Amino acid sequence: MLDLTQLNAKDIALALKEAKLTKDEVSSFFKKRIDEFNPSLNSLIEVFKEPDKGEGSSALASLGIAIKDNICIKGRKITCASKILSSHRAVYEATVISKLKQAGLEIAARANMDEFAFGSSTETSCYGPTKNPWDLERVVGGSSGGSAAAVSARLLPFALGSDTGGSIRQPASLCGVVGFKPTYGRVSRYGLIAFGSSLDQIGPITTSFIDCAHLLNIICGHDAKDSTSAKIDTPDFSKSLNCDCSQIKIGLPKEYFAKGLEPEVKTAIEGVKSYFANKKIKFIEISLPHTEYAVATYYIIGSSEASSNLQRFDGIRYGLRSGCSNLEELYTKTRSQGFGPEAKRRIFLGTYSLSSGYYDAYYVQALKVRRLIKEDFDSAFKEVDAILTPTSPSTAFKIGEKTNDPLSMYLSDIYTISVNLAGLPAVSFPCGFSKNNLPIGAQLIGKAFDEETLIKLGSCFEEGSDYHKQIPPLVVNKKNSHE
Partner 1 sequence: MSNFETVIGLEVHTQLNTESKIFCSCPTEFQSPPNTNICPVCCGYPGVLPVFNIKALKLALRVSLALNCKINPSIYFERKNYFYPDLPKNYQISQYKMPLGYNGALLLPSGKKIRINRVHLEEDAGKLIHKEDYSLVDLNRTGTPLLEIVSEPDLSDASQAFDYLTYLKLILQYIRASDCDMEKGSLRCDANISLRPKGQKELGTKVELKNMNTFKGVRVALEYEAKRQAHVLKNNQKINQETRLWDPAKLKTAIMRTKEEAHDYRYFPEPDLLNITVGDDLIKAESSNLGELPLAKSKRFLDDYGISGKELDIYISNINLADFFEEVVKIYTKVKEVSNFLLGPFLEQINNNKEGFSAVKIEAENFSKIVKYFSQGRLNNLTAKKVLSLSIFTNEDIDEIIDREKLTQVSNEDELLAFVSEAIKENPKAISEFNEGKQQAIQFLVGQVMRKTKGKANPKLARQMLEKTIKGGSV
For the bound state, the minimum distance from the C-beta of residue 80 to partner 1, rounded and expressed in Å, comes to 8
Q: In the complex with partner 1, which residue's Cβ is closer, 100 or 457?
A: 100
Q: In the complex with partner 1, which residue's Cβ is closer, 219 or 411?
A: 219
Q: Which of 43, 162, 167, 434 is catalytic?
A: 167
Q: Which of 10, 62, 68, 434 is catalytic?
A: 68
Q: Verify whether residue 143 is a known catalytic residue.
A: yes
Q: In the complex with partner 1, which residue's Cβ is closer, 63 or 192?
A: 192
Q: In the complex with partner 1, which residue's Cβ is closer, 48 or 359?
A: 359
For the bound state, the minimum distance from the C-beta of residue 357 to partner 1, rounded and expressed in Å, comes to 9
For the bound state, the minimum distance from the C-beta of residue 363 to partner 1, rounded and expressed in Å, comes to 6
What SS3 string covers the chain?
A: CCCHHHCCHHHHHHHHHCCCCCHHHHHHHHHHHHHHHHHHHCCEEEEEEEEECCCCCCCCCCCEEEEECCECCCCCECCCCCHHHCCCECCCCCHHHHHHHHCCCEEEEEECCCHHHCCCCCCCCCCCCCEECCEEEEECCCCCHHHHHHHHCCCCCEEEEEECCCCCHHHHHHHCCEEEECCCCCECCCCECCCCCCCCEEEEEECCHHHHHHHHHHHECCCCCCCCCCCCCCCCHHHHCCCCCCCCEEEEEHHHHCCCCCHHHHHHHHHHHHHHHHCCCEEEEECCCCHHHHHHHHHHHHHHHHHHHHHHCCCCCCCCCCCCCCHHHHHHHHHHHHCCHHHHHHHHHHHHHHCCCCCHHHHHHHHHHHHHHHHHHHHHCCCCCEEEEECCCCCCCECCCCCCCHHHHHHHHCCCHHHHHHCCCEEEEEEEECCCCCEEEEEEEECCCCHHHHHHHHHHHHHCCCHHHCCCHHHCCHHHHHC
Q: Which of 58, 121, 125, 143 is catalytic?
A: 143
For the bound state, the minimum distance from the C-beta of residue 410 to partner 1, rounded and expressed in Å, comes to 21
The residue ranges that bind partner 1 (CB under 8 A) are 70-72, 78, 80, 85, 88, 90-92, 94, 189-194, 196-198, 224-228, 304-305, 307-308, 311-314, 316-318, 327, 331, 351, 354-356, 359, 363
Q: In the complex with partner 1, which residue's Cβ is closer, 28 or 311?
A: 311
For the bound state, the minimum distance from the C-beta of residue 228 to partner 1, rounded and expressed in Å, comes to 6
Q: Verify whether residue 167 is a known catalytic residue.
A: yes
Q: Which residues are catalytic?
A: 68, 143, 167
